[in-house]
Amino acid sequence: MNQDMMPTGVNLGIDGPSLLADIAETAAFGGTAKGGICRLALGAEDRQVRDWLGTQAAALGGVLTVDSMGNQFIHLPGSDPALPPLVMGSHLDTQPTGGKYDGIYGVLAGLSALRALQRSGYRMRHPVELVNWTNEEGSRFAPAMMSSGVFTGAFTQAQAYGTQDARGTTFGQALEEIGYRGAEPCGQHPVRAYFELHIEQGPILEKEGITIGAVTGVQAMRWFDLRLSGQEAHAGTTPRAMRRDALLAAAHVMIMIDEIAQSYGADTRATVGVIQVQPGSTNVVPGEVQMSLDLRHPDDDVIAAVEERIRTEAARQAEQQGVTLSMKRIWDSPAVHFDPDCVEMVRRAASLTGQSYRDIVSGAGHDAAYMGHICPTAMIFIPCRDGLSHNEAEHAEAGDIVAGANVLLHAIMAADAHFDPA
């Protein structure tokens, strides 16, 4: 990207107090006693915050559309209606014990950027849009990043609609129940480039005292369901040598997974986050265990090697314990490398607004990971206290919040100057 492609309008900025007020106001939708948020996808609280966003779109004078996956798009026209839109976005849903910033910060900052453009009278050539992606977290309906995945063709709408939550409600049913199944087919909305602002969800920026992370890509991620099947037996009468204890076998497998992950270096992440034990009785030897596995690494070849070793060693552990094992991969998100020009726009926007910055790779999954497969994409990170996220204590400093939003605004302005030059 050439320096002369940067736009004028350096003094344009977002309204910081208004952005902070929006964060405080939306924290009421699913707020918890500990100051966090529980706003699961397609629940009552999700509907409330979606309705709030629709109200803001109307006040802004933007055009709101909703697609068949419930994704919300707020559209402001550009001076050239033939050009495809530049899009900012993130998500509004949270983990069961989530915080006030994960996802929604990027949506609210994008809203602030739209307001700044409207307020100033600065007219972009491209239309500019804000999107709220449905079910990014995957905490109610797996997998994560579901609607951006359908939007980009990673999986089908039928697959998404058929997924069930813990109570047996399907995604399609829940979408209908809250009234957010839109008429526009998912995936037919044009996008020229995509920018997503987010808290880092890790400790690097805070530790180094840096305000902005120019995200160069997202590491590879794979999710698995493991099922170990043994035999229920009486806890008091069954000798150890005759037991087929599924939970004991699972414990051996979990330790083995951690050891394998460590052997592949500090960039490897392996997490068992969910365990379900049957029959769940104090005096019964467990007959079945179902557990999740989350694997992550920046390199696709390494994560494939880790998976192969885990499969081999888990099968060996199961055989030694006298149980059977199934290991099913349920989600595969390859490593993504963001568009170099868009990443450079983030760097220059940080410099233009007087913020310190560094390049960084995202350890967490984001909708931008899927968007990077279909259009030029970049992300912007700001620090979060102690690197905490997916936690009710999640926190970002006001100055960083405003700084990140201004970088987003100037990056989208730079994209308008860079793409489809007149």
Mark the binding-site residues, compressed into ranges: 91, 102, 137, 198, 390
Per-residue burial over 63-98, b if 16 or more Cβ lie within 10 Å, else e, is ebbbbbbbbbbbbbebeeeebbbbbbbbbbbbbbbb
Q: Are 395 and 37 in contact (CB under 8 A)?
A: no
H-helix segments, 218-267: 246-263
Nearest one of 186, 303, 283, 272 to 232, comparing CA atoms? 283
Phi-psi region of 143 (alpha: psi -120 to 50; beta: other; left: phi over 0): beta
Tokens 């070793």 -> residue: 309
Residue 186 and residue 189: Cα distance in Å, rounded?
7
> Which tokens go with 121?
């009278």
Strand duo 288-297 + 220-229: pairing: antiparallel
Binding site for Zn(2+), by residue number, is: 91, 102, 137, 198, 390
Helical ranges in 61-156 per DSSP H:
104-120, 146-151
